[in-house]
Amino acid sequence: MKTLVVDEKKCCGCRICEQWCSWTHEGCVNPTMTRIKVIKLHEQYLNLPLTCTQCVNAPCINSCTFGALTKDQNTGAVLVIEDLCVGCRKCVKACPNGVVSIHKEKRKALICDLCQGAPKCVELCPMGAIQYQDVSLEGRVQQAEAALQITCAKERCE
């Protein structure tokens, strides 16, 4: 099963992902209607794209008492059944990644739907900072970094 994997060190903060997420789903560019959100951490000189991680035992789905959230069996994305969603915002609070928000006009939950398996944010990121890949490959970036750190530390010892 594929998920979105982010390498925050590559993110340049252009927010093209936000623009097209909003554009593709809502037909306009609106900073509150994007399902991916880039947070600029000024003090750390870092841009952090927050994305849905398609949790297996998804806290958002578990929190919903109206049965408005389900899983897409093909992609693993969380789907919002808008007719059932009452806009109670329990899912916003439940999300461990802070990526559920509320549509300002419809007052329904906004959650990444992986663009039915072809995520626009991945396609248009100029830095390759967002990948859509098999979940088992998650951690490869961290592995490489850890390996580098271990070798640097070793060099210093010698």
Partner 1 sequence: MEKNYGLAGNILRVNLTNGTIEKEPSNPSVFKKFIGGRGLGAWMLYHEVPAKTDPLGPDNKLIFMAGPTEGTITPGANKITVTFKSPLTNTYATSLCGGHLGPELKFAGYDGVVIEGKASEPCYLWIDDDKVRIMPAKHLWGKNTHETEDAIRKELGDINVKVAVIGKGGENLVKYACIQTDYHREFGRQGSGAVMGSKLLKAIAIRGTKSIPIAEPEKLAQLTLETYQILANHPKANARKKMGTNELVDGINSLGFMANKNFTEGTSLSAANITGAAMVRDVVFGDVSCYGCNIVCGKNTQVLSSKYGKVRIEGPEFETLTLLGTNTGVYDWEHILRATQIFDEYGVDTMSGGSAVALAMECYEKGIITDEDTDGIKLHFGNGEALCQVAELIGQRKGIGAILADGSLAAATKWGVPELAMQVKGSDFAAYDPRGAKGMGLTYATSPKGAHHMIAPTFGVEIAQNNRFSEEGKAALVRETQFFMAIVDSMALCSSMRFALDLGKQLQFISAVTGWDLNEQEAMVIGERILNVERMFNVREGFSRKDDTLPKRFLEEPLKEGSSQGQVVNLEKMLNEYYELMGWNQEGIPTAERLGKLGICY
Q: Which residues bind partner 1 (CB under 8 A)?
A: 9-10, 12-16, 19-20, 22-23, 27-33, 39-43, 45-47, 104, 124, 126-127
Alpha-carbon dihedral of residues 59, 63, 68, 70, nearest 10 degrees? 30
Residues making up the chain, counted from first to last: 158
Shorter beta-carbon distance to partner 1: residue 19 or 54: 19
Shorter beta-carbon distance to partner 1: residue 94 or 127: 127
Joined together, the tokens standing for residue 108 give 């329904």
Cβ at position 77, least distance to partner 1 in Å: 23
Shorter beta-carbon distance to partner 1: residue 18 or 113: 18
Cβ at position 69, least distance to partner 1 in Å: 24
Per-residue CA distances from 75 to 32, 133, 136 (Å) = 24, 11, 15
Shorter beta-carbon distance to partner 1: residue 6 or 69: 6
**Is the Cβ–Cβ distance between 33 and 110 less than 8 Å?**
yes
Cβ at position 110, least distance to partner 1 in Å: 13
- Distance of alpha carbon 67 from alpha carbon 88, whole angstroms: 12
